[in-house]
A and B are shown apart, each in its own frame.
Chain A
Amino acid sequence: MPNIVFEKVEKSYGAVQVLPPLDLSIDDGEFTVLVGPSGCGKSTTLRILAGLENLSGGEIYFDERPISALAPKERDVAMVFQDYALYPHMNIARNMSFALRLQRVPAAEINKKVRGVAEMLNIAHLLERKPAELSGGQRQRVAMGRALVRDASTFLFDEPLSNLDAKLRAKMRIELAEMRNALDKNMVYVTHDQIEAMTLGDRIVVMSEGVIQQQGSPEELFTRPANKFVAGFISSPTMNFFDGELVLEKDVLWARGTGFLLQISPEQTQRLNGHAQRNVSVGVRPSAFSSDPAVGSPIELELVVSEYLGAQSVLVTRCGGKDILVEIEGRAPGTAGTVMTFGVPQKDIMLFDQESGGRL
Chain B
Amino acid sequence: MSAPVHERQNPAFYALMTALIVMSLGPIVLMLSNSFKLNVDIMSDTSSLLFLPTLKNYETVLCNTLWYTPKHVEYCNPTFGWALGNSLIIAIISTAITLVTGCMAAYAIVRFRFLGRGSLSMTTLLMRMVPPAVLLVPVFGIWTFNYCWGDECLDGTYTGIILVYVAMNLPFVIWILQSFIVQVPIQLEEAARMDGANPFQVFYLVLLPVIKPGLAAASIFTFRIAWNEFLLADALLDRKTRTVPVTIVNSLTEHDIDWGVIMATGTLLAIPPIIFTFVASKQIIIGMTAGAVKG
Interface residues of A (CB under 8 A from B): 50-52, 71-73, 77-79, 81-89, 98-99, 102-103, 130-134, 136, 139, 146, 150, 163
Contact = CB atoms under 8 A, between A and B. Distances in A.
B191 interface: yes
A150 B196 CA distance: 10
Nearest to A143: B191
A146 B193 contact: no
Contact of B201 (A84, A102, A131): A102
Contacts of B289: 88
B192 A98 contact: yes
Nearest to B290: A132
Contact of A132 (B198, B287, B294): B287
A85 B196 contact: no
B28 interface: no
B292 A131 contact: yes
B226 interface: no
A134 B194 contact: no
Interface of B: 185, 187-188, 190-198, 201, 205-206, 209-210, 212, 287-295
B290 A85 contact: no
Contacts of B295: 83, 163
B188 A87 contact: yes
B196 A102 contact: yes
Contacts of A146: 191, 195
Of A84, A89, A132, A150, the most chain B CB neighbours within 10 A belong to A89
Nearest to A74: B196
Contacts, number: 90
Contact of B293 (A51, A83, A130, A133): A83
A139 B194 CA distance: 18
A65 to B, nearest CB: 18
Contact of A85 (B190, B201, B205, B288): B190
B196 A73 contact: yes
Contacts of A99: 195-196
A134 B209 CA distance: 20
Given A89-B209, A89-B210, A102-B201, A84 B292 contact: yes
Contacts of A73: 193-198
B294 A163 contact: yes
A81 B291 contact: no
B83 to A, nearest CB: 39
Given A52-B190, A85-B187, A102 B197 contact: yes
Contacts of A86: 191, 291-293
A28 B206 CA distance: 33
19 contacts: A73-B196, A79-B190, A81-B293, A82-B187, A83-B187, A84-B292, A85-B188, A85-B191, A86-B293, A87-B188, A87-B192, A88-B188, A88-B291, A89-B209, A98-B197, A102-B195, A131-B291, A134-B291, A146-B195
Contact of B194 (A50, A103, A131, A136): A50
A133 B191 CA distance: 20
Contact of A150 (B195, B210, B291): B195
A83 B185 contact: yes
B218 to A, nearest CB: 18
A17 B62 CA distance: 72
Contacts of A84: 292-294
A77 B291 contact: no
A85 B293 contact: yes
A236 B137 CA distance: 77
B291 A133 contact: yes
Contact of B210 (A50, A77, A88): A88
B202 to A, nearest CB: 10
A103 B196 contact: yes
Given A83-B185, A86-B291, A136-B294, 4 more contacts: A81-B187, A86-B292, A134-B291, A139-B294
Contacts of A150: 195
